[in-house]
């Protein structure tokens, strides 16, 4: 039951509008973005806010390409501005080189990624291949389940990224179309609550003629490795900060979407389904049906893919009889999705011994019906009983097209 | 220069070659722009030699991001200064090589100029990619031998003339575009100063002869630069709102041969059969400059 007072605050708006509103109340100083489906509506709404004078002390840089969008934010962030962008797919790929550069210079740029498949063949619908391809760029990646979480994660991520102990950029990854174009009831972030929750950006080092500093220097083999180490250390510091910030957010706004991970019917689960993003809603529906029949199925939502919560994942699955990982991406050449690979990797060096299988699903916006999720659960039940026969596979391939 | 010469804001002790043109270009740029400047420097010789961590030659705030994005980074720096209410006091200046400016970074630079950001872009044109070992750029002159356009049995080197970069930048509606040369420090300092005082995107294209890449003695950088102007291969002019408003006259142009002979990159023109014809073609470029820019 939703509290009637809370229900009163809810509005039905498009996901993109809600996200743009969130970005606005985070009080960015510089926004720079380039349109690409299905991110477009986010930047259009932000442009309208700008045109209506609703974002004070903010410049919108209408760039000629995504590569310049992220580059402009590198410059802006180095001057001490809070910065925002949104992109997806080819746009995100075009940013690739500069993504490393942003994080290497430890500039806490925050961006929404409306996840979409990558070309070729060209396809505008959702999967996670674009963001997964950026997993080693040194950015944080938080995957969200619904529109409300896409909104609520933005101020959280700014707070984490801008922590002087961390100073690492981050992406809020939301499923393109499924979340960006859906109309669902949400509570739009309140300006006053957000101002309380998210302090102004106050970096220790900025480009300032009063106190000249050098950004983006040249490092030889003598010094380069330590930069990488410190970057990794910062990501490790982000792990508890992500948890703490989610809880702090809950205290202020009354909503919690999980910290690094989140469980659903997980405590006594014998079979665990792991996934990231909006698919979790469907999975939970299917699990509800199993629970109604008395079967102990649970869901493990992975919210933070970078930093990767190894310990939390090991702990969450330690009592399971079998785990299945659903990945909306594939690392071609391994026949596996990235979450699957990394889950196995962290279990191997732990004391947790549980069989894990993987499905790579929903490529290019392919629908994932409840029946398929149920089939996956049935397969995993077999694994729990008699061991792994097939480790990883594509879901619902159309044999007639092959 | 007199004793009252402006401070340079860039220290010596960098790891550039002796007689490095880029070091001169940076020095003269900052002498023109002054201390209240944020410098954006794309990848290239200048960036690499001036910031070996943990050292830095820069006495002004300085940022290097990538090879191809200086125009966009400068846009962001300018936008942020505006948003934070600091723009009035601070100048934004980008200093990039011909490769990062005319080739890989042209899109980002074009975007920044079209959007009208208030900053000055200085191209220090040493006419090739020096940092990766003297490969051709679109600023490499006709018949110059580079490692990717080497002179050979059937080649006189780079087969194409230089891209007319100042014209491209002027076509963006820039209020001020000027060419200059590190051989004429006062001219360069004056033009940079003027450019940084004008509101809007302004562009300075400075010829910067590189002893290593061009093949001349390290003591001769400024001399060679002057020779380029005196042979009329490097016309120096100012354009305001697309119109040429000032030209540096060359009363008695010297033959291009003097300039070519002084550099290894043109050596083949004096040894290969047919070289004379090629030198004539280069003289024709100088003659065209004389006429077009009314240098005399
Ligand atoms: C995307 C990318 N491609 C290639 C390079 C390698 N690279 C670094 S500097 C450089 C050439 C620089 O030439 P220029 O801009 O003319 O500057 P110079 O060093 O000659 O002053 C090249 C090719 C790079 N850093 N990034
Ligand atoms: S190669 Fe040329 S531009 Fe590069 S450091 Fe040496 S002299 Fe300077």
CA B20 to ligand 2 centroid distance, Å: 5
Whether cis (ω within 30° of 0) applies to the bond prior to A167 is no
Q: How far is B292 from chain A (nearest CA, A)?
A: 33
Report d(CA B252, CA B86) in Å as an integer: 48
Pocket test residue of B131, B163, B205, B265 for ligand 1, highest count of atoms within 8 A of CB = B131
B76 touches chain A (CB under 8 A): yes
**Average confidence (pLDDT) over A21-48:** 98
* DSSP states along B28-50: HHHHHH-SSEEEE--SSHHHHHH
Residue owning tokens 């004056």: B190
Residues of chain B with C-beta less than 8 angstroms from the C-beta of A29: 80, 83-84
Tens of pLDDT, residue by residue over A304-324, are 999 999 999 999 999 999 999
Does the C-beta of B16 come closer than 6 Å to ligand 2? yes
With CB atoms and an 8 Å threshold, state whether B36 touches A209: yes
With CB atoms and an 8 Å threshold, state whether B61 touches A59: no
Query: Considering only residues 6 to 65 of chain B, which have any Cβ-Cβ distance to chain A shorter than 8 Å?
Result: 35-38, 40, 47-48, 51-54, 56, 58-65
A137 touches chain B (CB under 8 A): no
CA A131 and chain centroid, separation: 8
Q: Tell me, what's the pLDDT at A352?
A: 97
Residues of chain A with C-beta less than 8 angstroms from the C-beta of B35: 209
Minimum-distance ligand to the CA of B131? 1
With CB atoms and an 8 Å threshold, state whether B69 touches A59: no
CA B88 to ligand 2 centroid distance, Å: 34
Q: Is the pLDDT reported for residue B6 higher than 80? A: no
Pocket test residue of B12, B14, B17 for ligand 2, highest count of atoms within 8 A of CB = B17
Does the C-beta of B49 come closer than 6 Å to ligand 2? yes
Sequence-separated (6 or more) residues with CB below 8 Å from residue A212: B58, B59, B60, B61, B62
Q: Tell me, what's the pLDDT at B5?
A: 63
| Residues flagged as binding site of B | 17, 20, 45, 210
Closest CA to A356 of A394, A315, A324, A397: A324
State which fold the A4-253 domain adopts.
Rossmann fold (3.40.50)
Per the CB < 8 A criterion, the answer to whether B201 and B176 are in contact is no
| pLDDT > 70 fraction of chain A, expressed in percent and rounded | 100
Does the C-beta of B146 come closer than 6 Å to ligand 1? no
Question: What is the pLDDT confidence band of residue B4, given thresholds at 50, 70 and 90?
Answer: low
Closest CA to A308 of A263, A346, A257: A346
Q: Is the pLDDT reported for residue A116 higher than 70? A: yes
Pocket test residue of B14, B15, B16 for ligand 2, highest count of atoms within 8 A of CB = B16
Q: Tell me, what's the pLDDT at B243?
A: 97
Residues of chain A with C-beta less than 8 angstroms from the C-beta of B100: none
Q: Which helix (H) or strand (E) holds A382?
A: helix A370-386
Closest CA to A188 of A253, A248, A142, A250: A253
Query: Which residues is A392 bridged to in the sheet?
Result: A358
**Average confidence (pLDDT) over A50-62:** 98
Closest CA to B221 of B67, B57, B28, B42: B28
Identity of the residue in A78, A97, A217 whose CB atom sits nearest the CB atom of B66: A97
Question: What is the pLDDT confidence band of residue A2, given thresholds at 50, 70 and 90?
Answer: confident
Closest CA to A140 of A376, A308, A8, A25: A308
A58 touches chain B (CB under 8 A): yes
Look up residue B80 and give its two tokens. 């942020």
Sign of CA dihedral A378, A380, A384, A389: positive
Residues of chain B with C-beta less than 8 angstroms from the C-beta of A105: 65
Q: Count Cα neighbours of B41 within 13 Å in the Cβ-side half-sphere.
A: 30
Look up residue B243 and give its two tokens. 């119109």
Tens of pLDDT, residue by residue over B183-197, are 999 999 999 999 999
Tens of pLDDT, residue by residue over A194-224, are 999 999 999 999 999 999 999 999 999 999 9
Question: What is the pLDDT confidence band of residue B7, given thresholds at 50, 70 and 90?
Answer: confident
* DSSP states along B227-270: HHHHTTSS--EEEETTEEEEE---SSPPPHHHHHHT-GGGGGGG
Q: Tell me, what's the pLDDT at B68?
A: 98
Residues of chain B with C-beta less than 8 angstroms from the C-beta of A207: 38, 61-63, 77
What CA–CA distances, in Å, run from B137 to B22, B89, B142, B158, B205? 16, 36, 11, 9, 15
Pocket test residue of B40, B129, B205 for ligand 1, highest count of atoms within 8 A of CB = B129
Per the CB < 8 A criterion, the answer to whether B180 and B247 are in contact is no
Q: Count Cα neighbours of A307 within 13 Å in the Cβ-side half-sphere.
A: 23
Identity of the residue in A59, A78, A81 whose CB atom sits nearest the CB atom of B63: A78
Minimum-distance ligand to the CA of B50? 2
Report d(CA B171, CA A206) in Å as an integer: 34
**Average confidence (pLDDT) over A255-262:** 98
Report d(CA A162, CA A140) in Å as an integer: 12
Q: Is the pLDDT reported for residue A99 higher than 90? A: yes
Ranges of CATH 3.40.50.970 domains, chain A: 4-253
CA A90 and chain centroid, separation: 17
Q: Tell me, what's the pLDDT at B1?
A: 45
Which CATH number does A261-401 carry?
3.40.50.920
Q: Is the pLDDT reported for residue B103 higher than 70? A: yes
B19 CA closest ligand 2 atom index: 7
Specify burial of residue A351 (Cβ count, 10 A radius: 0-12, 13-18, 19+).
Answer: exposed
Question: What is the pLDDT confidence band of residue B13, given thresholds at 50, 70 and 90?
Answer: confident
Per the CB < 8 A criterion, the answer to whether A55 and B58 are in contact is no
Q: Which domains does chain B have, with CATH numbers?
A: 21-293 (3.40.50.970)
Helix (H, G, I), strand (E, B) or coil at A357: strand
Does the C-beta of B156 come closer than 6 Å to ligand 1? no
Q: How far is B38 from chain A (nearest CA, A)?
A: 7
Ranges of CATH 3.40.50.920 domains, chain A: 261-401
Q: Count Cα neighbours of B230 within 13 Å in the Cβ-side half-sphere.
A: 15
Does the C-beta of B221 come closer than 6 Å to ligand 2? no
Does the C-beta of B126 come closer than 6 Å to ligand 2? yes
**Nearest protein Cα to ligand 1, atom 17:** B97
CA A146 to ligand 2 centroid distance, Å: 54
CA A155 and chain centroid, separation: 13
Helix (H, G, I), strand (E, B) or coil at B118: coil
Order across the sheet with A322-327: list the strands.
A261-264, A297-302, A271-275, A322-327, A356-360, A392-394
**Average confidence (pLDDT) over A251-279:** 98
DSSP-derived letter for residue B99 is I
CA B43 to ligand 1 centroid distance, Å: 6
With CB atoms and an 8 Å threshold, state whether B38 touches A217: no
Q: How far is A252 from chain B (nearest CA, A)?
A: 28
Sequence-separated (6 or more) residues with CB below 8 Å from residue A360: A327, A328, A329, A330, A335, A336, A337, A340, A392, A393, A394, A395
- Alpha-helical (H) ranges within A80-144 are 89-94, 96-104, 129-132
A242 touches chain B (CB under 8 A): no
Whole-complex ipTM:
0.96
Helix (H, G, I), strand (E, B) or coil at A42: helix
Does the C-beta of B22 come closer than 6 Å to ligand 1? yes
| pLDDT > 70 fraction of chain B, expressed in percent and rounded | 98
Q: Count Cα neighbours of B219 within 13 Å in the Cβ-side half-sphere.
A: 0
CA A180 to ligand 2 centroid distance, Å: 50
With CB atoms and an 8 Å threshold, state whether A68 touches B72: yes
**Other beta carbons within 10 Å of A221:** 6
β B62-63/A322-327 pair status: unpaired
A32 touches chain B (CB under 8 A): yes
Helix (H, G, I), strand (E, B) or coil at A273: strand
């Amino acid at each position: 039951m939703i509290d009637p007072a809370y229900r009163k605050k809810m509005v039905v708006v498009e996901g993109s509008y809600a996200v743009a509103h969130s970005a606005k109340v985070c009080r960015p100083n510089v926004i720079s973005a380039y349109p690409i489906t299905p991110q477009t509506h986010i930047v259009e709404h932000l442009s309208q806010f700008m045109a209506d004078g609703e974002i004070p002390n903010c410049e919108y840089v209408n760039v000629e390409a995504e590569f310049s969008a992220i580059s402009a934010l590198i410059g802006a962030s180095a001057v001490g501005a809070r910065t925002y962008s949104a992109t997806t797919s080819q746009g995100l790929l075009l940013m690739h080189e500069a993504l490393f550069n942003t994080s290497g210079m430890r500039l806490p740029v925050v961006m929404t990624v409306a996840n979409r498949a990558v070309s070729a063949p060209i396809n505008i619908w959702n999967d996670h291949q674009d963001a997964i391809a950026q997993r080693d760029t040194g950015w944080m990646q938080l995957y969200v389940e619904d529109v409300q979480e896409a909104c609520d994660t933005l101020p959280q991520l700014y707070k984490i990224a801008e922590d002087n102990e961390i100073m690492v950029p981050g992406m809020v990854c939301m499923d393109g179309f499924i979340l960006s174009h859906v109309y669902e009831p949400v509570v739009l972030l309140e300006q006053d609550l957000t101002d309380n929750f998210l302090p102004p950006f106050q970096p220790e080092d900025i480009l300032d003629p009063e106190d000249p500093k050098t950004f983006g220097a040249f490092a030889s083999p003598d010094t380069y490795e330590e930069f990488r180490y410190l970057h990794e250390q910062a990501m490790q510091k982000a792990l508890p900060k992500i948890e703490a910030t989610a809880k702090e957010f809950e205290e202020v706004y009354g909503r919690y979407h999980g910290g690094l991970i989140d469980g659903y019917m997980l405590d006594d689960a014998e079979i665990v389904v792991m996934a990231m993003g909006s698919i979790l809603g469907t999975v939970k529906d299917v699990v509800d049906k199993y629970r109604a029949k008395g079967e102990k199925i649970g869901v493990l939502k992975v919210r933070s893919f970078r930093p990767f919560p190894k310990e939390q994942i090991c702990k969450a699955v330690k009592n399971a009889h079998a785990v299945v990982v659903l990945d909306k991406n594939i690392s071609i050449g391994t026949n596996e999705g990235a979450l699957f690979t990394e889950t196995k990797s962290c279990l191997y060096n732990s004391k947790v011994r549980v069989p894990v299988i993987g499905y790579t699903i929903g490529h290019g916006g392919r629908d994932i019906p409840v029946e398929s999720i149920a089939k996956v659960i049935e397969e995993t039940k077999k694994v729990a009983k008699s061991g792994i026969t097939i480790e990883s596979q594509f879901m619902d391939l159309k044999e007639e097209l092959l | 220069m007199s004793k009252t010469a402006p401070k340079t804001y860039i220290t010596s002790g960098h790891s550039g070659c002796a007689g490095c043109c880029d070091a001169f270009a940076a020095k003269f740029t900052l002498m023109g722009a002054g201390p209240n400047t944020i410098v954006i420097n794309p990848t290239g010789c200048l960036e690499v030699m001036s910031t070996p961590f943990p050292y830095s030659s820069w006495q002004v705030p300085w940022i290097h991001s990538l090879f191809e994005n200086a125009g966009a980074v400068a846009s962001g720096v300018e936008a942020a200064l505006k948003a934070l209410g600091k723009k009035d006091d601070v100048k934004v200046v980008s200093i990039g090589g011909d490769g990062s400016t005319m080739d890989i970074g042209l899109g980002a630079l074009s975007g920044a100029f079209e959007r009208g950001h208030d900053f000055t872009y200085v191209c220090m044109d040493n006419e090739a990619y020096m940092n990766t070992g003297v490969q051709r750029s679109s600023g490499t002159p006709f018949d110059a031998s580079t490692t990717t356009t080497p002179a050979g049995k059937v080649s006189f080197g780079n087969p194409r003339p230089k891209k007319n970069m100042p014209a491209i930048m002027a076509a963006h509606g820039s209020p001020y575009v000027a060419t200059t040369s590190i051989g004429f420090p006062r001219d360069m300092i004056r033009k940079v100063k003027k450019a940084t005082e004008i509101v809007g995107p302004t562009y300075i294209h400075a010829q910067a002869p590189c002893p290593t890449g061009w093949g001349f003695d390290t003591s001769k950088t400024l001399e060679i630069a002057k020779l380029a102007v005196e042979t009329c291969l490097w016309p120096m002019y100012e354009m305001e709102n697309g119109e040429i408003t000032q030209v540096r006259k060359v009363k008695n142009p010297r033959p291009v041969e003097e300039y070519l002979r002084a550099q290894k990159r043109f050596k083949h023109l004096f040894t290969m059969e047919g070289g004379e014809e090629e030198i004539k073609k280069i003289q024709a470029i100088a003659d065209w400059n004389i006429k077009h820019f009314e240098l005399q």
